[in-house]
Amino acid sequence: MTFETLGLSPALLRALSQEGYTEPTPVQREAIPLVLAGHDLLAGAQTGTGKTAAFSLPLLHRLYPDGKRPPDAKRFRALVLTPTRELAAQVHDSIRAYGRFCGVSSTVVFGGVGMGPQIDALRRGVDILVATPGRLIDHLERRGVDLGHVEALVLDEADRMLDMGFLPQLKRILAVLPKQRRQTLLFSATFSDPIKDLARQFMREPVEVQVARRNSAATAIEHRVHPVDSARKKDLLLHLLAADSRRQTLVFSRTKHGADKLVKHLVQFGVRAAAIHGNKSQGARTRALGDFKTGAITVLVATDIAARGIDIDQLPLVINHDLPMVAEDYVHRIGRTGRNGSDGQAVSLVSHDETGLLRDIQRLLGREIPLEPVAGYEPSSPLQLSCAAGNARPVQKPQQRGQRPAGRGGQPAGRPAHAKPGHGSGKPSHGKGKPGASRGAHGGGRPRLTDDGRPGRRDAGAASAPKPMTWGR
């Protein structure tokens, strides 16, 4: 099957040719004909499989059937909602690229930036609006946008929006959309039962497409786990990065404070690195992501805010410096690599206090991830972990906003999260609880560090820290 056989307009086929796309991915083959036929759609596919094109292309075809805008068309005909600013910006870029020969009129609105230019763009009116829920609510309250003519609604990463507490905002937005004549499309990497229940409330006989097994990770990804004491994680990370200092690497930290500390540590040793998380300004986040894409920096340290919405061509390596507290987030994190058929590696540095989290991940994936100690960085004692996925404890479920996933014995794991989708900001916080400080031995005579990067006491008789090394491009 080709894009031509899917029945897309010549204008879209021309744009796809310029983008270098020759044949549709599985989710595109399944979804595009259904969307073109006017069905509501509930589509699940692992990240990196082309979900954005799967809804953008048929949406553009329906709005511009002859490759150009009808002269009598109303404004704000389609609305795309995403959970994060980065994902909103990337979806908008894709829509503009695919619709470059259709005269597509579109804009994107999200928090963290001034409202003035957004107000001006909305006042002029556009055909397709891409938005985060919080900032869109702001514009609705200012009466700056009229959604009464919306013909198509897309919820991208719908499960993530619910996990981040956007359900009240989604209901407010849905209340002002036309109930008749509206086509609704839900796309997500994973679908929980609550998502399906919600879909039944505001979708009309949706057709379900599940291209990949629920919560599965891309098959092109190689998973590796390196057991290590908490205090030696940063040293092991430097060791792994030194294997190829020019290789782009996305590193995940559990906390915002930990991400900043980790970047400071990497830069101290000559690594070109930057952090991206919820406490960064939108300008800083955009610059860091842009520098990572262009190669100006080779290491991007992120909290889970970056697990969705970062699209890097052929990103070879994702490293989990800290495992996520919720197993499903592992799938979203590693989905940044192994995209569009390319190979990728997902490496996790696992300490003793994270063995339960690793069991959850193995259970979710339905497979073992063998432990591979790195010579010179072996943990002070073996990890007590059964690598058999079937012996894992039940997977933790995402909790209500403001709560931590329950730990063993029903107690909250870590301090309560304070993540709230800021009203009108589109800027959900992704803070995580601080891991406890490790008191394991720290080799090499360097200061021992806690998980969040704070210096601990120096081992008796320790030598001075190694000198920074020069990293080439």
- For 304-335, the pLDDT digits (tens) are 876 565 667 668 899 999 999 988 888 878 87
Q: What is the mean pLDDT of the chain?
A: 78
May I ask the CATH class of domain 221-390+436-445? Answer: alpha beta
Confidence bin at 386 (pLDDT 50/70/90): low
Poorest-pLDDT segment among 26-35, 291-300, 305-314, 359-368: 305-314
Please tell me the total number of residues recorded for the chain in this structure.
473
Residue 262 has pLDDT above 70, yes or no: yes
CATH 3.30.479.30, domain 10-210, yes or no? no
Residue 442 has pLDDT above 70, yes or no: no
Poorest-pLDDT segment among 42-51, 262-271, 280-289, 431-440: 431-440
Three-class secondary structure of residue 157 per DSSP: coil
CB under 8 Å to 79, separation ≥6 — which residues? 128, 129, 131, 147, 150, 152, 153, 154, 173, 177
Residue 231 half-sphere exposure toward CB, CA atoms < 13 A: 20
The percent of residues in the chain predicted with pLDDT above 70, rounded, is 74
**Measured between alpha carbons, how far is residue 469 from residues 89, 245, 251, 262, 368 in Å?**
36, 11, 20, 16, 36
Domain range list for the chain: 10-210, 221-390+436-445
Q: Which helix (H) or strand (E) holds 91?
A: helix 85-98
Q: Which residue has the higher pLDDT, 252 or 84?
A: 252
pLDDT tens digits along 144-200: 899 999 999 999 988 888 878 888 899 899 999 998 889 999 987 767 777 777 787
